[in-house]
Amino acid sequence: MSVRPVRVVHQVHTSRISILLPDEIRAAIRRHPVPAGHVQVTTVDCVNEPEQARLITPRTRDFLPAIPFEAFATIKRSKWIHRVEVAEVEPEDLTYLRSALLIAGEIGAMTGGHIFDVLAYKTTTPEEIADQIDNAFSPLAHISVHVEAGQHPFWVHTHGMTKFAHPDFELHGVPRESVAVAVQLLKHLVAAVVSGGRYRPGEATQLSGFGFEFQKGPAGSQDHYSDEALWLTSFRLLGEAGSPAMEGMLALPER
73: phi then psi, degrees, rounded to nearest 5: -65, -35
Q: How far, in Å, CA of 178 to CA of 173, rounded?
A: 10
CB contact at 8 A, 43 and 56: no
Q: CA dihedral defined by 59, 175, 217, 142, rounded to 10 degrees? A: 50
- State yes or no: pLDDT of 240 exceeds 80: no
Average pLDDT rounded to a whole number, residues 111-135: 93
Query: Per-residue pLDDT tens for 50-108?
Result: 999 999 999 999 999 899 999 999 999 999 999 999 999 888 899 999 999 999 999 99
Q: How far, in Å, CA of 126 to CA of 102, rounded?
A: 9
Query: Average pLDDT over the chain, rounded to whole?
Result: 92
Q: How far, in Å, CA of 180 to CA of 170, rounded?
A: 14
The domain locations on the chain are 6-137, 140-251
Query: Per-residue pLDDT tens for 180-200?
Result: 999 999 999 999 999 999 999
pLDDT cut 90: percent of the chain above it: 80
- State yes or no: pLDDT of 3 exceeds 70: no
237: phi then psi, degrees, rounded to nearest 5: -80, 140
Question: H/E element holding 235?
Answer: strand 229-237
Q: Name the CATH architecture for the domain at 6-137.
A: 2-Layer Sandwich (3.30)
Confidence band of 1 (pLDDT split at 50, 70, 90): very low
Query: Is 4 buried (19+), middle (13-18) or exposed (0-12) by CB count in 10 A?
Result: middle
Average pLDDT rounded to a whole number, residues 100-122: 96
Query: Per-residue pLDDT tens for 37-52?
Result: 999 999 999 999 999 9
Confidence band of 23 (pLDDT split at 50, 70, 90): very high
Residue type, 100: A
Average pLDDT rounded to a whole number, residues 217-231: 84
CA 20 and chain centroid, separation: 27
CB contact at 8 A, 99 and 39: yes
- State yes or no: pLDDT of 139 exceeds 90: no
- State yes or no: pLDDT of 2 exceeds 50: no
CB contact at 8 A, 83 and 44: yes
Q: How far, in Å, CA of 101 to CA of 31, rounded?
A: 12
